[in-house]
Structure 1
Amino acid sequence: NPDVSDIIMHAMWSSEPVPFDPMEKSLHQVYEQSQTIDQREMFQMIHEYPLGGNPPMMTHIYEDKNGQRIISAKGAPEAILAVSNLTENEKGEIKKQVNTLAAQGYRILAVGKSKWEGSNFPEAQQDFVFLFLGLLAFEDLPKEDIQQVFSQIHDAGIQLKVITGDYTDTTRAIAKQAGIINYTSAISGEELMQQSEEDLMQTVEERTLFTRMFPDAKLAVVKALKKKGEIVTMLGDGVNDSPALKAAHIGVAMGNKGTEIAKAAADLVITNDYLGKLIIGIAAGRRIYANIKKAIQYIISIHIPIILIVALPLFFGWVYPEIFTPLHVIFLELVMGPTCSIVYENEPMDKNTMYQPPRPMTDTFFKWTELTLSILQGLIITLGMLFIYQYSVNHGGSEAHTRTMVFITLIFSNIFLSFANRSFYYSIIESFKKYNPLLIGINVLVLGSLFVFLYFPPATSFFMLTSLGLSDIGITFGVAAVSVLWFELYKWIKRLTEKRGHINT
């Protein structure tokens, strides 16, 4: 069809000579397939009008060595219709076709051509009078797993805003196919910019789809969300996205189809343009953050009994004031260091991690409840060790015997604590389902070292300990278990309370 061929040819000429946008790439491909003679090498671009205007359009002017000239434009149908030679009735009929196609989820471009003699080209492309050639409808089906990706984003408590230059009907149709929640709530860029600051703040909170957007409108949405205290991540690939990418807390550009300007404005670049990578990144960030907190809370909890069991006997002048020597403290530090720095670093995330809402920017690293809980864990372990201390003394235990029982109690408590603090929500039994061989390995090594300290005479003498019978070891094990595993009751109550809260809501 000559008319279709003409539309494709002028759509190609109005695209970038070396395209990066998927739609422009497809136009070059269709041109190659539909034309008997490829004229791209015969013509040179002598003037261009980049994508601009509201709604946007772009125009390229080419000329061959014989002076034959091609002036081609493409853009939003409203933009091309506004500069075309059509009557109002003809424009109305075309707009009906545009609305029909948009409602089916097609992305639509209009194509036009013009003529101009001489080299004094008009300052604006809108000053040309274009012959309207036709419409191009592009179908860009959502990826198969995109519904799952958007579902994960929603489950993670992240609000999704679609900011696009497409038609409202097109955006609604695609959003519905992609499984975006609240896909009917839309507003155009022109309507947005006419709102007061108060109305704008409410709009960006309530609306999901922002259509027919231009750079200033995109920037306004980002700034309004930031002003509301939201942490804003902006994804974009075009030049028009650059101001919003720069203004967002985190600007993310697409590596494959993103322009260099967009990449330069962004903080991160996704190399394969797959949105699911963001979910992986968010999950990794949450896991790292949670593991750092676990490691620090573990350090706080386990250091309190070490400090107090050294200080209290000296301060109160108990019968065995030097219950721990620097040698014992050094060994304990050698145990605790790898536990917090290696074991918790490799800890898998809790299964509810990606169902938690994002932290507000005003949040401190530790809440008072978390810090209090860690201190309480340490104090209760201390009480268990003091109980063992008094138990040994009251039963006529020697200094070496008392030291050994207290030392073993702390070792067992440390092992229990390293498992219990893997999650501050799920039970210790549930935590065993998470694979972390380093945790098992370090604790097996500690138990092996403890066996050597108790039953290998040179090591026993060096650490000023003594061998213990099974009954004494059983007592220290039981006290250590009680000193730490009360925390499982706390976690059970926490889960039960949250479950009842969900039922009530």
Structure 2
Amino acid sequence: MPLNNFDIKGLTNAEVLSSRKKFGENTLNFKEESGVLEAIKSLAKEPMIVLLLVASAIYFASGETGNAVFLLAAIVIVSVISLYQDAKSRNALEKLNDFSQPNCNVIRNGEIIAIKTEDVVVGDSLMVEEGTSITADGIIVHSNDFSVNESILTGESFAVFKDKTKEDNFIYNGTTVATGLAIVKVTHIGNQTKLGKIGESLESIQEEKTPLEIQINTFVKKLVLFGALVFVIVWGINYFYSYNLLDSLLKALTLAMSILPEEIPMAFTAFMALGAWRLMQMGVVVKQMKTVETLGSATVICTDKTGTITENKMSLAHVFSLKSQRIVKQSDVNSNEKHLLEIAMWASEPIPFDPMEIALHQAYSDLKIQDERPNFKMIHEYPLDGKPPMMTHIFKNEAGRRIIASKGAPEAIMQVSNLSTEEIQQIDEAVKTITSEGYRVLGVGEADFTTTNFPETQQEFQFEFLGIVAFYDPPKANIESVLNHFYEAGILVKIVTGDNAETTTAIAKQIGFKGIDQNISGADLMQLSDEELQAKVMQINIFTRMFPEAKLRIINALKANNQIVAMTGDGVNDGPALKAAHIGIAMGKKGTEIAKQAASLILLEDDLSKMVDAVAMGRRIYTNLKKAIQYIISIHIPIILTVFIPLVLGWIYPNILSPVHVIFLELIMGPTCSIIFENEPIEKNTMLQKPRPYGTSFFNWKELITSIIQGLAITAGALFIYQYSVSQGMDQAHTRTMVFIVLIVANIFLTLVNRSFYYSIFTTMRYKNNLISLIIGITLAITALLLFVPVLNSFFEFGNLTAYQIMIATGVGFIAVIWYELVKLSARIKNKVK
């Protein structure tokens, strides 16, 4: 049988090149702002940059050129770090976008080939079928029961039937195929398509902020307002003492700089974008950033059976003919069973892509009879529909002979066949025998219809029930291990499938699935009230003979139970449920474009084990982001209070830190939170914990208080060394140096201690994170230069400390942080006692 039986040759390679040269590529190109320019504009609005510019201007006005130049250099460094992080995030997102672009099928040189969407050219013969997204405008040249959902253009959600004989025989880029198949000659691509012409308005639609992003932005805004208030107070106090406007303004700016947590938004953006990039490297394409934060919260995963739990490698295992009354292997078929296999093949797509249909075409070829496929053309098609579902194809040859073939759920074919009570019992017994061993079954029927006025629905035909074909789809080798990982992580697993209860239960038993004793069908589920379903959905783990409405009710019932729902799907009918789930998961290989569009992430290899990795990554990202922000809060507190307390209390050296010192500390903190913590590996107990409730506030009081206490402890250490220095008769330069060393050392050990709020520092030292030693090494090296290189020492107004004094300051910085190890030890002991 030829690969292309539509008698369409398509373009040649030379014609493709000529068309591309004339009309360009199939991409939508609108006016875009330069990413770098946008990032620079955004930087110019950053409060920290504004404060640095103001402080630098004041230094210039005061004649302190060195400090002014240093602050300008700091602006450059802060800008470079921010632009680097922005570029890194943007590149990750752009690669994700490129990676998730769909492919399409075209006929070229007489063969059907898969190409990238952007490679479609004007004149191409584009082949579109149920579940695919249309990638260019074109005119229909061949179709079977073809309908399109054009809601993206018209706003109407119902499907529109089209064929080449109708006035409206055009299809448009961005719409989706609801039913059937069509071959289309491409007339417009890229910006010349109907979608392209209205694309500028679509581009202006802005993505909504996620709940976590809103929480973080609100927190940052509050700190900025607090900083502005304190700035005014400190400016007033300084001016009251000195009556020097510029000097008092400079000292107030110092405090304002110490309060601004500009690292937090940068850390959030970097963590989410790089997290999505890491997931893509693992074979999981995240389409929406909010999915990254939701992954760690998943409490239920609803999974399909075929192709997700099983291999989706269907082999024809048995045949049951109602006339022969026996269940046999393919190699033992008689004439009745051969006819059954022939009709089963005709009920399949002419160019099969479903594994069962591929197996039926292969079985037909193995019958060693004359191949009639080239002689027949499909003249009408009824797509898969009904509850339970079935599908029907009508073929005709030049002699006028017709074949009306149907296949689907055995009970669906039985409902449209004239069967005796005895025959129904025989079919039921055969189905029970076959499915109890885990085989998937299809009923096959044949009809006779002489007129051309085909009924509106396939169920109106009177079929003859021929028998059953049974397929074996073995479970995936790793699926039992995958299920155990989900169970260990506190995640419920539910099978939601269109297959029957017996086959599903048999497969579930083979893989150690929990909850095989109860199941419910889609029809029975729809009879339940919302309240009844809400209770049942938590008790039952196997849902069979499901259809779109039933799947959607399951998702909504689970959500009503405050579950965070992930759902896998691949077909057109999975679209509504995938969209409704918190985490819609489409299959990258066997998934339709509609499923991929509705989903929030795509498993490229159709491997559910990647969801275990994705959940782990989601938990890791959330935990590490929390660590980073807790670190930022903890380390800002001592900087703020070390500037504020000596001034307010009128200590001997009221302005111990200047803008130069504060900005240096800020430059150290930025890379720590956004580079070190982002690179932290997952903690070993993370996947043994229950999912966090989705509605949980990112900043809960217990964690916030922990960070505040850590910050106050470091403050106590810094102020203790301040008073110690004064008591030893040290001048301001020596006191400043001692305080600065305490803050630097505390910063280093806070990084190490806060790598885990449960495991000890000795455990976390074994975690693989090469950036720890790099960033700490750079921090120590620069600090040493400031202390021992005379020019730098003088510029920062530091004193020359003795080795003993450095040891004292280092010891205080260490003690100010390391005490938290006792808290962690207490938690581990308490946990063991439980």
Fold equivalence (TM over 0.5): yes
| Distance of aligned partners of 1:486 and 1:120 in 2 relative to their CA distance in 1, 3 Å threshold | same
Could you tell me which of 560, 565, 576 is aligned with 1:227?
Answer: 560
- Separation of aligned partners in 2, 1:127 and 1:42: 27
Q: CA deviation at 1:46?
A: 1.1
1:258 corresponds to:
591
2:676 corresponds to:
343
SS in 2 for 1:27: helix
1:176 aligns with 2:509: yes
1:13 corresponds to:
346
Could you tell me which of 654, 657, 669 is aligned with 1:324?
Answer: 657
Could you tell me which of 761, 768, 775 is aligned with 1:442?
Answer: 775
- Separation of aligned partners in 1, 2:791 and 2:659: 18
SS in 1 for 2:456: coil
Q: CA deviation at 1:330?
A: 1.4
- Indicate the larger mover: 473-482 or 311-320: 473-482
Q: Deviations over 1:258-306 (max 9, x none)?
A: 2333333333332221112222222222222222211111111001001
Taking every aligned residue pair, what percent have the same amino acid on both sides? 54
1:379 aligns with 2:712: yes
Q: CA deviation at 1:499?
A: 3.1
2:492 corresponds to:
159
Q: Is the 8 A contact 1:5 1:35 kept in 2?
A: no
- Indicate the larger mover: 417-426 or 114-123: 114-123
- Separation of aligned partners in 1, 2:619 and 2:711: 26
- Separation of aligned partners in 2, 1:20 and 1:231: 33
What amino acid does structure 2 have at the position aligned with 1:431? T
What amino acid does structure 2 have at the position aligned with 1:241? D
Q: Deviations over 1:24-73 (max 9, x none)?
A: 22222332333443322211111122212222211111111111111111
Could you tell me which of 605, 611, 618 is aligned with 1:272?
Answer: 605
Q: Is the 8 A contact 1:238 1:262 kept in 2?
A: yes
- Separation of aligned partners in 2, 1:103 and 1:427: 52
What amino acid does structure 2 have at the position aligned with 1:26? A
Q: Structure 1 stretches (4+) deviating beyond 6 angstroms? A: none
SS in 1 for 2:819: helix
- Separation of aligned partners in 2, 1:496 and 1:18: 64
SS in 1 for 2:715: helix
SS in 2 for 1:132: strand
What amino acid does structure 2 have at the position aligned with 1:132? F
What amino acid does structure 1 have at the position aligned with 2:363? V
- Indicate the larger mover: 24-33 or 64-73: 24-33
1:243 corresponds to:
576
Q: Deviations over 1:134-187 (max 9, x none)?
A: 211111111111111111122222221111121212111111222322222211
1:112 aligns with 2:450: no
Q: CA deviation at 1:197?
A: 1.8
1:353 corresponds to:
686
Q: Is the 8 A contact 1:22 1:257 kept in 2?
A: no
- Separation of aligned partners in 2, 1:284 and 1:35: 52
1:144 aligns with 2:482: no
Could you tell me which of 391, 412, 436 is aligned with 2:724?
Answer: 391
- Separation of aligned partners in 2, 1:327 and 1:469: 23
1:494 corresponds to:
827
- Indicate the larger mover: 476-485 or 56-65: 476-485
2:748 corresponds to:
415
1:65 aligns with 2:398: yes
1:201 aligns with 2:529: no
2:420 corresponds to:
87
Q: Is the 8 A contact 1:44 1:63 kept in 2?
A: yes
1:401 aligns with 2:734: yes
1:474 corresponds to:
807
- Indicate the larger mover: 290-299 or 31-40: 31-40
The Cα RMSD (Å) is: 1.7
1:282 corresponds to:
615
- Indicate the larger mover: 414-423 or 173-182: 173-182
SS in 2 for 1:346: coil
Q: Deviations over 1:449-485 (max 9, x none)?
A: 1222222222221211123233222222222222111
Q: CA deviation at 1:194?
A: 1.3
What amino acid does structure 1 have at the position aligned with 2:753? A
SS in 2 for 1:71: strand
SS in 2 for 1:116: coil
1:293 corresponds to:
626
Q: Is the 8 A contact 1:163 1:218 kept in 2?
A: yes
Q: Deviations over 1:189-243 (max 9, x none)?
A: 1221111221110011111001121222111111111222222222111232222
Which 5+ residue runs of structure 2 have no aligned equivalent?
Answer: 1-332
Q: More relative contact order in 1 or in 2 (CA 8 Å, sep 6+)?
A: 2
Could you tell me which of 698, 712, 729 is aligned with 1:365?
Answer: 698
- Indicate the larger mover: 113-122 or 30-39: 30-39
- Separation of aligned partners in 2, 1:124 and 1:269: 34
- Separation of aligned partners in 2, 1:446 and 1:214: 60
SS in 2 for 1:41: helix
- Separation of aligned partners in 2, 1:444 and 1:457: 21
1:310 corresponds to:
643
| Distance of aligned partners of 1:499 and 1:42 in 2 relative to their CA distance in 1, 3 Å threshold | farther
| Distance of aligned partners of 1:11 and 1:459 in 2 relative to their CA distance in 1, 3 Å threshold | same
- Separation of aligned partners in 2, 1:438 and 1:133: 68
> Residues 13-92 of structure 1: matches in 2 within 5 Å?
13-92=346-425
- Separation of aligned partners in 2, 1:492 and 1:322: 38
Could you tell me which of 462, 466, 481 is aligned with 1:133?
Answer: 466
- Separation of aligned partners in 2, 1:251 and 1:18: 29
- Separation of aligned partners in 1, 2:828 and 2:376: 71
| Distance of aligned partners of 1:218 and 1:450 in 2 relative to their CA distance in 1, 3 Å threshold | same
- State the TM-score, normalized to the length of structure 2: 0.58
1:428 corresponds to:
761
Q: CA deviation at 1:82?
A: 2.4
Q: CA deviation at 1:380?
A: 0.5
What amino acid does structure 1 have at the position aligned with 2:557? A
Q: CA deviation at 1:320?
A: 1.8
- Indicate the larger mover: 239-248 or 288-297: 239-248
- Separation of aligned partners in 1, 2:799 and 2:526: 80
Q: CA deviation at 1:375?
A: 0.8
Q: CA deviation at 1:402?
A: 1.4
1:99 corresponds to:
432
SS in 2 for 1:25: helix
What amino acid does structure 2 have at the position aligned with 1:485? I
What amino acid does structure 2 have at the position aligned with 1:305? P
- Separation of aligned partners in 2, 1:255 and 1:130: 37
- Separation of aligned partners in 2, 1:142 and 1:228: 30
- Separation of aligned partners in 2, 1:323 and 1:227: 57
1:452 aligns with 2:796: no
Q: CA deviation at 1:102?
A: 1.4
Q: Deviations over 1:292-338 (max 9, x none)?
A: 21111111100100111111111111122222122111111111111
SS in 2 for 1:483: helix
- Separation of aligned partners in 2, 1:256 and 1:213: 22
- Separation of aligned partners in 2, 1:487 and 1:278: 35
SS in 2 for 1:311: helix
- Separation of aligned partners in 2, 1:496 and 1:6: 72
- Separation of aligned partners in 2, 1:162 and 1:338: 45
